[in-house]
Amino acid sequence: MNKTDVLIIGAGPTGLFSAHQLGIIGLQCEIVDNLDKAGGQCIELYPDKPIYDIPAVPECTGEELTNNLLEQIKPFNVKFHLNERVEELKKVEKRWHVKTSGNQKFDVAAIIIAGGVGSFEPRKFPVKECEKFEGSSLFYSIKDKTIFNDKTISIFGGGDSALDWAIELSNTSKVNLIHRREGFSGAESSVQKVKELNDQGKLNLYTKYQMESVIGDNQIGSVKIKHDEGETKKLQSDYVLGFFGLIMQLGPILKWGLNINKKTVEVNTENFETNVDGIFAIGDICSYPGKLKLILSGFHEGALAARGCFKYARPDEKLRFEFTTTSKAAQERLGVKK
């Protein structure tokens, strides 16, 4: 059991900055995120794209913003639990007990949900029968590539994941790469490489095709693909891989008794607490009259939610408002006191 003051759900910019605000007022926190790294949408959707509306930062990329926020919270030694999705929530006396998908357990005084538009999950094939093979012969991510040795793999998608895996697996497997159009969104060098491998017969590229159906009993035997013009092909396949990026899903949060409105959690604007005592929501996931889905708004919400957590974490103490410029306590916590 991890015992701390506050659990932050979501390691996007809003979650990271609320960790800073908790640290400044002397509260401990830990952060859970479903992705394998911090940064949330900034890292997953637009790591290289510039952002122009962070106050006092004329221009930065999603990756730079994330790295700067991580740097800013370094003094607080915040513990991250990545690749973990929060699943269960239980009130035990005045504390919250939380359990994640990886069976991590937390005992906390308050929770800040900074979950963006939900946790990122792989986008799946629209073809219904795919579900039956998922996890056995159809995958949306690769954990152990050795299972593909000397097998026939059909890979769907046109982004970097699809291209990179097609190139890599073509060394040890027979690879079909299927994409819905001639153009690719992945790196140009990878596109060229795939085309070379196709010309050399080391990989079979099918463009303007999409999946029509998967055929097999317990394991996939073949996959049927259909061209834009209507012609179909049947490709013998031991495994099927789909790389269509990630989608955001609200997931288990829906079952926590929070007031949910259009995939967002209703909060008050005094301290961004939800209808459930001790559970706060900030950033894109919260809604209130006038809500703007901007990173800067998330920072403000995080500052207030952090202070809202104080009465749950330190019920016998009173929080005094202080500036980091002049507060000895804050400077000690930041490790900058001379």
Residues that bind other proteins (CB under 8 A): 41, 45-46, 117-118, 123-124, 126, 157-159, 179-181, 183, 185, 210, 228, 244-245, 247-249, 263, 284, 293
The angle subtended at Cα 41 by Cα 161 and Cα 274, nearest 5°, is 140
- Cβ contacts of 55 within 8 Å, gap of 6 or more: 296
Q: Measured from the CB of residue 36, what is the shortest distance to other proteins in angstroms?
A: 19
**Is the Cβ of residue 58 or residue 126 nearer to other proteins in the bound state?**
126
In angstroms, the CA 288 to CA 264 distance is: 9
- Cβ contacts of 101 within 8 Å, gap of 6 or more: 34, 84, 85, 86, 87
Q: Measured from the CB of residue 234, what is the shortest distance to other proteins in angstroms?
A: 20
**Is the Cβ of residue 32 or residue 178 nearer to other proteins in the bound state?**
178
β pairing state of 239-242 and 260-261: unpaired
**Is the Cβ of residue 7 or residue 117 nearer to other proteins in the bound state?**
117
Q: Measured from the CB of residue 42, what is the shortest distance to other proteins in angstroms?
A: 11
**Is the Cβ of residue 112 or residue 178 nearer to other proteins in the bound state?**
178
**262 three-state secondary structure:** coil
Q: Measured from the CB of residue 76, what is the shortest distance to other proteins in angstroms?
A: 30
**197 three-state secondary structure:** helix
**Is the Cβ of residue 201 or residue 290 nearer to other proteins in the bound state?**
290
**Is the Cβ of residue 148 or residue 244 nearer to other proteins in the bound state?**
244
**Is the Cβ of residue 202 or residue 263 nearer to other proteins in the bound state?**
263
Q: Measured from the CB of residue 161, what is the shortest distance to other proteins in angstroms?
A: 11
Q: Are 151 and 175 in contact (CB under 8 A)?
A: no
Which long-range contacts (C-beta less than 8 Å, at least 24 apart) are formed by 81-85?
81/30, 81/31, 81/32, 81/33, 82/11, 82/33, 82/35, 82/36, 82/37, 82/38, 83/33, 83/34, 83/35, 83/36, 84/32, 84/33, 84/34, 85/32, 85/34, 85/119, 85/251, 85/252
Q: Measured from the CB of residue 28, what is the shortest distance to other proteins in angstroms?
A: 32
Kindly state the tokens that stand for 285: 């996931």
Q: Measured from the CB of residue 314, what is the shortest distance to other proteins in angstroms?
A: 36
Q: Measured from the CB of residue 49, what is the shortest distance to other proteins in angstroms?
A: 8
In angstroms, the CA 119 to CA 84 distance is: 10
- Amino acid identity for residue 49 in this structure: K
Q: Are 8 and 30 in contact (CB under 8 A)?
A: yes
**Is the Cβ of residue 107 or residue 134 nearer to other proteins in the bound state?**
134
